[in-house]
Amino acid sequence: MKRKLQALAVLLIFGVLKLPLEQHVTRDLRRMRLVDEPMNLGTGENMGQMGLAATLGGLRGLVATVFQLQAYVAFTNVDWAQVDKYYNFVNRLQPRNASYWEEASWHMAYNAASYYLYSEDLKPGLRGQLYQAYVKRGIDILTEGLKFLPDNPRLWQKLGDIHWNRSKDFKAAGDAYWNAFQNGGLNFTQRFAAYAYAQSTDPASWQKGYGILKKLYDEKKATPGLIEYLKMLEQNLHIPAAQRIPDAAPVRSTPDPQAGPLK
């Protein structure tokens, strides 16, 4: 009996000593992005969620993969609400997995949005409305994902893509591309940021875009597209002739990014 009491005492004393140690190790591992923060629990659903978090402990990845597969099935059935629901769950389970955020937003902003845009069963007015709603959903998903992965260049880049291609919000696209580049994105994200700024309606953004492109031009990193946009910005910003670049390439006048480089 004496030994059993000793055992209990050791367990409790160790318990007291281990708490700060566990706290330290967990902080370390969270800082290294190896261990997830506890799941973000809403107040009303505390118990259920906590039970869930505990039950899935250590197996979140596995369960997320299963839900992702279910989302894929829903996608093949063109059931967008289900796709959204499953990805919502996948992302709650695996908030640090960028590809899940990316995939979820792609499904919403591209697949679902286009599906409604070209759905012949719907009245034209409603089509546009649903298109906008799903594009916005895609943007929201990426914005949420970027709260968990603020320095992920791919998510920033995908956000830029959606703003550029889908919602035509070039200022936002420029900011997103610029963030992608700042966080180690590939070189083209820097150019794309500037192209997006160039197409916005905001002179301050033009100025930013001009700064980026001029710097690249001076570093001899100009591409045909870059020169077109640079010339467009020189014109729009009324850059004095002496400071303009000497190239004779044609000046881009259309803000449509889909048009490609001028021939």
Q: How far is CA 101 from CA 97, 125, 164, 241, in A?
A: 7, 29, 18, 46
**Among residue numbers 13 through 42, which ones bind other proteins (CB under 8 A)?**
14-16, 18-19, 21-23, 25-26, 28-29, 32-36, 38
Give the x-and-dash track for 116-155 against other proteins (CB under 8 A). ----------------------------------------
Q: Does 44 interact with other proteins (rule: CB under 8 A)?
A: no
In 3D space, the residue among 223, 228, 232, 225 whose CA is nearest the CA of residue 200 turns out to be 232
Q: Does 221 interact with other proteins (rule: CB under 8 A)?
A: no
Cβ(100)–Cβ(64) under 8 Å? yes
Q: Report the distance separating Cα 172 and Cα 132, nearest Å.
A: 16
Stretch that binds other proteins, among 61-69, 140-148, 206-214, 253-261 (CB under 8 A): 61-69
Q: Does 187 interact with other proteins (rule: CB under 8 A)?
A: yes
Least separation in angstroms between CB 118 and other proteins: 23
In 3D space, the residue among 150, 211, 210, 148 whose CA is nearest the CA of residue 180 turns out to be 150
Q: Does 61 interact with other proteins (rule: CB under 8 A)?
A: yes
Q: Report the distance separating Cα 135 and Cα 181, nearest Å.
A: 23
Q: Report the distance separating Cα 118 and Cα 250, nearest Å.
A: 35
Q: How far is CA 262 from CA 5, 195, 226, 244, 254, in A?
A: 85, 14, 11, 19, 10
- Contacting other proteins (CB under 8 A), which of 50, 126, 133, 237? 50
Least separation in angstroms between CB 29 and other proteins: 6
Quick one: which H or E segment has residue 79?
A: none
Q: Which residues of this protein are in contact with other proteins, per CB under 8 A?
A: 1-4, 6-7, 10-12, 14-16, 18-19, 21-23, 25-26, 28-29, 32-36, 38, 50, 53-62, 64-65, 69, 72, 94, 96-99, 103, 186-188
